[in-house]
């Protein structure tokens, strides 16, 4: 099994709260950054999505906070897609410190919306496969 796609992020001081640890909402920003980085690495741009008349949508997200992060911590944010048979897909993400400590686990459900019809497309996997120059990054 191949390693999931990941990006490195350094926690910045302005992202921390009064206790000195990473603000809870920033974990979600890191996850979003990793998802868009994966799309870009696979050859999918926002412009390409719009030209195809679709856009990714988040339908559900769960964050499990495991360990605090503080300013200066370096983390890897992973991103992996799990495809089902319907209109949605799962996204599994982990935020891990460089020493291996898991700081957070993020699980999401997403879809691909037809921007004209304002409804989810029937098979998002096929859109990603067609748009990507490297569909293997999506497990396709």
pLDDT in tens, 5-24: 999 999 999 999 999 999 99
Asked whether the predicted pLDDT for residue 1 surpasses 90, the reply is: no
Asked whether the predicted pLDDT for residue 2 surpasses 70, the reply is: no
Strand intervals (E) in the chain: 5-10, 54-65, 74-83, 88-97, 102-114, 119-120
Tens-place pLDDT, residues 76-115: 999 999 998 899 999 999 999 999 999 999 999 999 999 9
Average pLDDT, the chain: 96
φ/ψ region of 116 (left if φ > 0, alpha if ψ in -120 to 50, else beta) reads: alpha
For the chain, which residues make up each domain, given as ranges?
Answer: 6-133
Using a pLDDT cut of 90, give the percent of the chain over it.
94
CATH numeric code, 6-133: 3.10.129.10
Assign 3 a pLDDT band (cuts: 50, 70, 90): confident
């Amino acid at each position: 099994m191949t390693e999931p796609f990941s990006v490195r992020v350094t926690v910045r001081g302005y992202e921390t709260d009064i206790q000195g640890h990473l603000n809870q909402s920033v974990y979600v920003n890191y996850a979003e950054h990793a998802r868009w980085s994966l799309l870009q690495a696979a050859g999918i741009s926002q412009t390409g999505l719009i030209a195809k008349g679709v856009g990714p949508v988040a339908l559900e997200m769960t964050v499990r906070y495991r360990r605090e992060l503080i300013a200066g911590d370096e983390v890897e944010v992973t991103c992996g897609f799990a495809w089902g048979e319907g209109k949605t897909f799962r996204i599994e993400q982990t935020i891990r410190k460089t020493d291996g400590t898991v700081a957070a686990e993020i699980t999401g459900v997403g879809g691909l919306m037809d921007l004209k019809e304002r409804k989810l497309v029937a098979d998002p996997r096929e859109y990603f496969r067609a748009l990507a120059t490297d569909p293997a990054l999506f497990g396709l």
